[in-house]
Amino acid sequence: MNAHELKQAVAKEAISRVATAHGDNLVLGIGTGSTAECFIAELPHLRDRILSTVSSSERSTALLRELGFEVKDLNDVDHVDVYVDGADESTAEGFLIKGGGAALTREKITAAKAREFICIADESKMVETLGTFPLPVEVIPMARTLVSDALNQLGGDTIWREGVITDNGNIILDVHGLRIDNPSTLESHINDITGVVCNGIFANRGADVLLISTPDGVVRIL
């Protein structure tokens, strides 16, 4: 199986999970990225079960609307039954790094409102310790150098992702070379840096269900 086929397989497994573990009139949260887009492509199989959707990016919103799904503002729903999204890295505990597509803040907000967070990925994203994938940090533009200096003091090498503007109008700094032994503590610490909007560690609200695609099939880790 190639990389795209692995993503398709885990997306189909997530559809099955939603269908069997959740009822009708679903408010469904959808993430961002290539694996999430494979999940979106399978959503017509659940059309009769979905009341409305919410989305973590403008791109995912456009794809959902192309398929005829209602996409609501998160403020207009009182809950999200289940949120489905991919990851750039994951541990077996469901701690994640996300944000390669620069949608980490909206992804984290949507995950926080969800009753269940299903993370879908292929086996190449599994690690024992987070940090091989550069950690994305969304930053207010005027705070770029202030935040970069603070992140470098944590032992990483911070690089501005030039030319990238988030859906919120902010910039992304990528922190290379961090070994994240205590993801919950580091997530909170980075968020406390003045000028940081959000960082891509998902540990304080990690995945509830972790589905990993392998050439031999999809494995549920959590």
Active site residues: 107
Question: What is the spatial distance between Cα 132 and Cα 165, in angstroms, rounded to a whole number?
Answer: 23
What angle, 0 to 180 degrees and rounded to 10, lies between the N-to-C axes of helices 58-66 and 34-42?
20
Q: Is the dihedral of CA 173, 80, 5, 123 positive or negative?
A: positive
Q: What is the dihedral of CA 199, 200, 203, 209, to 10 degrees?
A: 150
Tokens of 101: 């597509």
Residue type, 97: I
Q: Which stretches within 47-130 are classed as H helix?
A: 58-66, 104-113
Tokens of 115: 């009753």
Question: What is the spatial distance between Cα 32 and Cα 61, in angstroms, rounded to a whole number?
Answer: 9
Rg (CA), the chain: 17
